[in-house]
Structure 1
Amino acid sequence: MIIQKIRQKNPLIHCITNYVVANFQANGLLAIGASPVMADGNDEVEEMVTIASGLLINIGTLNDTMKKSMLLAGKRANVLGIPVILDPVGAGATNYRKKAVQHLLEEIQFAAIRCNIGELAAIAHVEWQQKGVDSGTGSISVEDEAKKVAQLYQCIVIVTGEKDFITDGTQQQWITGGNAQMTEVTGTGCLLSAVCCAAYVADQQPYRQLAEVLKLYKQIAEQAATSTQYIGDFQIAVLNELGHLSKGGEQ
């Protein structure tokens, strides 16, 4: 199981992320045996990423200073062959975010993009009405546009929602399951991106590894929902399930 391989490898995951979810992401990475570092200062990100196994870039609370850090760290990671994962939170909500994501995609070679359907629409330049950082409404062929983006940027694209879709531009699959409570707790998608970053570097078959993580995350949501009826406890239950599975517990 890939989540157990993460614990065995204990990768250092450098997260340049948003302040809403940083604590949840760090605890989630610790729960699966990875080592998180949440460094985003311009003066240290290039040095920090040199000792990391993977880099996560999450634009949830984007500003110019953080964008500079993302570019510095991402370019350095590319030079060193360190995989970079992009979480383009709310990419279509404002022109600023849309332009920033486009700039990041032009300057950095990403190993994978983990987004929701509205963020995919923004990256693919499909008309869409995004609702803040939520997915919003519109009409899009997830399969077609995700494959185009994967081929254009030569990376794996993951589109999460009620059903998840993953493609590397050639292979593709839908993944079902999960629980709606995941949408009632902030940061569950952002945590998934961090887990995907750890999974990407844990073995030698990244597409298979990420597909497995998506299936496990759906199962974790289902199991967490059975253990509590309260939304505050649900977030804790997700962390508990991540830790349980990573230590060899039954699904």
Structure 2
Amino acid sequence: MLNEIWSIITDVRQQKPLIQSITNYVTINDCANILLSFGASPAMCEIIEEVEGFVNLADGLYINIGTLAGEQKKAISLAVAKADELNKPVVIDPVGVGAIPSRLEYVLDFMGRYNISIVKGNLGEIKVLAGMEARICGVDSLEDGSGGIDACKILAEKFNTIVVATGPRDIITDGKRTVLVENGSSIMTLVSGTGCMLGALTTATAAVEKDFFKAALAAVVTFGLVGEFSAENLAGEILPGSFKVKLFDNIYRLSEDDLIKRGKITWL
């Protein structure tokens, strides 16, 4: 499987997919830069008059509702509808659905109306979307992993989508195939935007790999490894600012040997 993941990474670097991102204002620059470092081409296009036309050009659409505003809501609806019409991959990051009821209603509504390729959130957000209780603090999950696999499978089967739940062990499932990924670093939780960056990367892999389960797995393993390497570069110190810069450097120079030796996936 790790060889297949490397093939997907290589395809991103060679094909340079154009990823349209309607994302939150806190981390928009981080998402653009991680896509560039990965080999993809970012386009942070969200103006209402332009979003539908740009979907025609894009290879994938990333939606992140972290700073959801009225105009952005309309832009998201237009873009997702167009991507659905054109059968282009759509990845959604349901930020804050556990804390703000209107966001939960909004996400569930358009997941019911459109084909969403991949839903990527923290475990708390995924459990809430699946109709389960979850421990959250604002937009952060306080979940320890219990009930996570069941929640992911419920959500995947209900909406016929791929579900990615991030946490101490990342979960990827389509309801039938389920994998745990144990790469990553605790320092990732000290940097805003790491989840957003993963969402953008997942859209890039989905743009080149039609099996969205494999695409999601490739992005999760890749970013987890990059987090590990970046933490190791700090030589034992906890330096969130330096760590963030190293994320871009390490994804740019990630090698097949790194992936094969260090990728940690477990099939369930």
TM-score (ref. length: structure 1) = 0.94
Aligned to 1:97: 103
Aligned to 2:266: none
Q: 2: CA distance between counterparts of 1:13 and 1:106?
A: 23
The 1:138–1:239 alpha-carbon spacing in structure 2 relative to 1, beyond 3 Å, is closer
Aligned to 1:160: 166
The 1:184–1:136 alpha-carbon spacing in structure 2 relative to 1, beyond 3 Å, is same
The 1:103–1:140 alpha-carbon spacing in structure 2 relative to 1, beyond 3 Å, is farther
Look up the equivalent residue of 2:223 and give its one-letter code.
Y
Q: Does 1:12 align with 2:21?
A: no
Matched residue of 1:43: which SS?
helix
Q: 1: CA distance between counterparts of 2:65 and 2:173?
A: 22
**Per-residue displacement from partner, 1:8-33 (whole Å, max 9, x unpaired)?**
01100000000001000000000011
Q: After superposition, where does 1:76-115 map in structure 2 within 5 Å? A: 76-115=82-121
Aligned to 2:265: none
Aligned to 1:231: 240
Question: Which of 112, 119, 122 pairs up with 2:128?
Answer: 122
TM-score (ref. length: structure 2) = 0.89
Look up the equivalent residue of 2:248 and give its one-letter code.
L
Question: 1:103, CA displacement in angstroms?
Answer: 2.0
Question: 1:205, CA displacement in angstroms?
Answer: 3.0
Matched residue of 1:125: which SS?
coil
The answer to which of 62-71 and 231-240 deviates more is: 62-71
Matched residue of 1:174: which SS?
strand
Q: Is the contact between residue 60 and residue 203 of structure 2 (CA under 8 Å) also seen in structure 1?
A: yes
Identity of aligned residues (%): 35
Q: 1: CA distance between counterparts of 2:145 and 2:165?
A: 15
Q: Which runs of 4+ in 1 moved over 6 A?
A: none
Look up the equivalent residue of 1:15 and give its one-letter code.
S
Q: 1: CA distance between counterparts of 2:96 and 2:142?
A: 10
Q: Is the contact between residue 71 and residue 107 of structure 1 (CA under 8 Å) also seen in structure 2?
A: no
Q: 2: CA distance between counterparts of 1:140 and 1:65?
A: 37
**Per-residue displacement from partner, 1:79-123 (whole Å, max 9, x unpaired)?**
111110010011111112112212221232100000111101221
The answer to which of 7-16 and 118-127 deviates more is: 118-127
Q: Does 1:134 align with 2:121?
A: no
Q: What is the alpha-carbon root mean square deviation over aligned residues? A: 1.5
Question: Which of 228, 235, 249 pairs up with 1:240?
Answer: 249
Q: 2: CA distance between counterparts of 1:176 and 1:148?
A: 22
Q: Is the contact between residue 129 and residue 138 of structure 1 (CA under 8 Å) also seen in structure 2?
A: no
Q: 1: CA distance between counterparts of 2:105 and 2:19?
A: 26
Q: Is the contact between residue 21 and residue 63 of structure 2 (CA under 8 Å) also seen in structure 1?
A: yes
Q: Is the contact between residue 71 and residue 108 of structure 1 (CA under 8 Å) also seen in structure 2?
A: no
Q: 2: CA distance between counterparts of 1:140 and 1:100?
A: 26
Q: Does 1:61 align with 2:67?
A: yes
Aligned to 2:222: 216
Q: Give the count of matched residue pairs.
A: 249
Q: Does 1:196 align with 2:179?
A: no
Q: What are structure 2's unaligned runs of at least 5 residues?
A: 1-5, 259-268
Q: Is the contact between residue 169 and residue 182 of structure 2 (CA under 8 Å) also seen in structure 1?
A: yes
